[in-house]
Amino acid sequence: MQAIRLLGVGDLQRQEVAVPEPGPGDVVVQVEAAGICGTDRHLFHGEFPSTPPVTLGHEFAGRIVAAGAASGGRVGARVACDPNIFCGICPECRKGRVNLCRANVAIGLQRDAGSADYALIPGHPAPPLPQGMTPEAGAFAEPLACTLHGLDVARLVPGERAMVLGGGVIGLLAVQLARAAGAEVMLVTRHPAKRAVAEALGARLTAASAAEALRLWPGGADAVIECAGVEETMTRAPALAARGGRVVVLGVLAQGARVSWEPFDLLLREVAILPAFINPFTQSRALELIANGTVQTAPLVTRRISLTDAPAVIAAPPPPGDIKTMILP
């Protein structure tokens, strides 16, 4: 079978590897759709820790073709991948903060994932796809689960103003979740095509810049949700929050990157900075929100490629207007 292997920083190749055999707790999934994530590009550039050689692709769905006796999986069933395998016994896991597990093993970072014809994953946390869901929609379970954690942290209540920074896939999922929470939503991105998608998905307002956003909402937003993961928006985010507001950090800056905020301003206006990391127990809700139509994923798929094209696509910066590229093995 073919797999997209990260061999080291800057070295990504399509290789022929053996089809995996399941251990007692594992399932082997024939991958039907795998999304390319910004994290894959961070891994390629060495900006996010991983342990190569490793097959990339932590956002995928497919059909179980082999199941270990204790896996709980059923051959023929469609599942998504929950890429984070927490240990269950460290102090954070014992407090229920499994996304902070200090022994977490992430599929696609520390062990092989789904940018391949087949993937070996633990059967236990692999969430089954609801009846009739396409594998492509199922591949959004992971990014939506992460975004959902961010919205849980934001604690929006109906009638509040939510400003989403960044029009990539996380930003456009956040727009839909904030709308579903009853907030009035503004998306800020310089890309006109992404503003149009956001308006179609429930954003009442869009802005091309932070300055334009503040002209539209001079008092700022109750919740600013940073989904761009770039220094400029991360730096500006607190200034876009209302007095007593909060900034939710979902965007991933490269490890080691720094931004400057003014603690005096954060203190006097009581603006909270709230990071939201990965997906603690949010995958099933994410799949439910896709299944019941609250969150649309089809408008977010802008490109479909083969495994052959994947190394070059991951190595290159995303083209303007690109939202989600799906690998269809």
Query: Which residues, listed in sequence order, are joined to residue 188 by a DSSP beta bridge?
Result: 165, 207
Among 39, 55, 233, 282, binds Zn ion (CB under 5 A): 39
Is residue 170 a contact point for Zn ion (CB under 5 A)?
no
Q: Report phi then psi at 287, rounded to 5.
A: -65, -40
**Closer to Zn ion at the Cβ: 37 or 197?**
37
Is residue 106 a contact point for Zn ion (CB under 5 A)?
no
Contact 80, 138 (CB under 8 A): yes
Query: What residue type is 27 in one-letter code?
Result: V
Nearest CA to 18 out of 44, 55, 50, 43 is that of 55
**Closer to Zn ion at the Cβ: 213 or 287?**
287
CB 61 → Zn ion: shortest distance, Å?
13
Is residue 3 a contact point for Zn ion (CB under 5 A)?
no
CB 169 → Zn ion: shortest distance, Å?
9
Among 79, 93, 228, 253, binds Zn ion (CB under 5 A): 93
State how far the Cα of 233 lies from the Cα of 71, in Å rounded to an integer.
Answer: 43
Q: Exposed/middle/buried for 221, CB within 10 Å: 0-12, 13-18, 19+?
A: buried
Nearest CA to 187 out of 169, 218, 213 is that of 213
Among 17, 19, 87, 273, binds Zn ion (CB under 5 A): 87
CB 182 → Zn ion: shortest distance, Å?
27
Is residue 37 a contact point for Zn ion (CB under 5 A)?
yes
CB 91 → Zn ion: shortest distance, Å?
8
**Closer to Zn ion at the Cβ: 86 or 118?**
86
Is residue 101 a contact point for Zn ion (CB under 5 A)?
yes
State how far the Cα of 104 lies from the Cα of 102, in Å rounded to an integer.
Answer: 6
Among 19, 65, 90, 328, binds Zn ion (CB under 5 A): 90
Residue 222 CB coordination number (10 Å):
23
Residues of this chain that interact with Zn ion (CB under 5 A) are: 37, 39, 86-87, 90, 93, 101, 103
